[in-house]
């Protein structure tokens, strides 16, 4: 498995178990922690050379969360001393508990790159939109599901209460209805990109339909190839990829061509 979560967890458990039973000296404890840091850094380097799976990552982060809760429970009954960590990659003052939390931080907010020469996906921590921007941005409001359905039933262009694809980046982290002109339909190895306003890499917003959802979202039709230069609205959670806002489509109710 890409993250080798069982190895990570077993490595941490082994270190804690050995130290808790006083089987090694304080100097050996420090060496063991340093070895753990070195080993984990090696895993991170190997990770950069492999493909990733979002579900695997989510499951493994969950396992590490459970482990951290166990460590917290045991640490309440034992003395914790300040321990310097040899590697500059981590900073901890709460023994291996701090190191483990650091590992989870890296798993949660790290950047996962897919090895591909095509237009690729990158999962990143979503930063809040710059509050100091000079743009006149109104307070964000999520769009209720009923309103989404009613809006996508409208035949006027653009529908009321929608966001222009050119402004979508301002609404990252919320659920919205985004409307604009599809400039390019770009199939790739894992699905299809709908690039809005300009072709990739100059598009301002894009939607992704995974291969596994393509027939369902398009009702078994391959007409999406003809959607270039057509006005389209999509609805869903606005995320960010490579500096662009995006919405992942996995249901036909999220999509309408005008």
pLDDT band of residue 89 (cuts 50, 70, 90) is very low
Gap between the Cα atoms of 36 and 107, Å rounded: 16
Second CATH level (architecture) for the domain 142-257: Beta Barrel (2.40)
Q: Would you state the pLDDT for residue 172? A: 96
pLDDT tens figures, 216-255: 998 887 778 889 999 999 999 999 988 899 999 999 999 9
Of residues 54 and 33, the one with the higher pLDDT is 33
Lowest mean pLDDT among 57-61, 83-87, 109-113, 148-152: 83-87
Q: How far apart are CA 31 and CA 35, in angstroms?
A: 6
Task: Give rounded-to-5 percent helix, strand, coil for the chain.
Answer: 40, 20, 40
- In the chain, where the domains are located: 5-113, 142-257
| CA–CA distance, 85 with 43 (Å, rounded to integer) | 18
Q: pTM of the full predicted structure?
A: 0.43
Tell me if 99 sits within 8 A of 71, measured CB to CB.
no
| pLDDT at residue 82 tops 80 | no
Q: How far apart are CA 60 and CA 8, in angstroms?
A: 10
Which residues partner with 163 through β-bridges?
Answer: 178
Residues 69, 47: Cα–Cα separation, whole Å: 25
Cα–Cα dist 41/108, whole Å:
15
């Amino acid at each position: 498995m890409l993250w080798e979560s069982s190895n990570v967890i077993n490595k941490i458990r082994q270190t804690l178990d050995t130290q808790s039973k006083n089987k090694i000296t304080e100097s050996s404890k420090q060496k063991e922690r340093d070895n753990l840091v070195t080993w984990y850094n090696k895993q991170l380097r190997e990770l950069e050379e492999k493909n990733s799976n979002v579900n695997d990552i989510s499951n493994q982060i969950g396992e590490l969360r459970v482990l951290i809760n166990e460590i917290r429970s045991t640490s309440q009954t034992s003395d914790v001393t300040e321990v310097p960590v040899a590697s500059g990659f981590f900073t901890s003052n709460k023994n291996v508990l701090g190191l483990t939390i650091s590992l989870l931080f890296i798993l949660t907010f790290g950047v996962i790159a897919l090895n591909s020469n095509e237009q690729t996906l990158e999962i990143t921590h979503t930063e809040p939109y710059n509050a100091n921007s000079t743009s006149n941005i109104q307070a964000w409001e999520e769009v209720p599901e009923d309103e989404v359905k009613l809006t996508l039933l409208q035949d006027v262009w653009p529908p009321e209460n929608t966001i222009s694809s050119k402004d979508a980046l301002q609404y990252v982290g919320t659920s919205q209805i985004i409307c604009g002109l599809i400039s390019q339909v770009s199939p790739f190895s894992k699905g299809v990109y709908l690039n809005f306003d300009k072709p990739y890499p100059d598009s301002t917003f894009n939607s992704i339909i995974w291969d596994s959802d393509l027939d369902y979202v398009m009702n078994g039709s391959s007409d999406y190839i003809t959607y270039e230069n057509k006005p389209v609205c999509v609805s869903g959670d606005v995320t960010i990829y490579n500096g662009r806002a995006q919405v992942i489509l996995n249901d036909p109710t999220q999509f309408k061509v005008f």
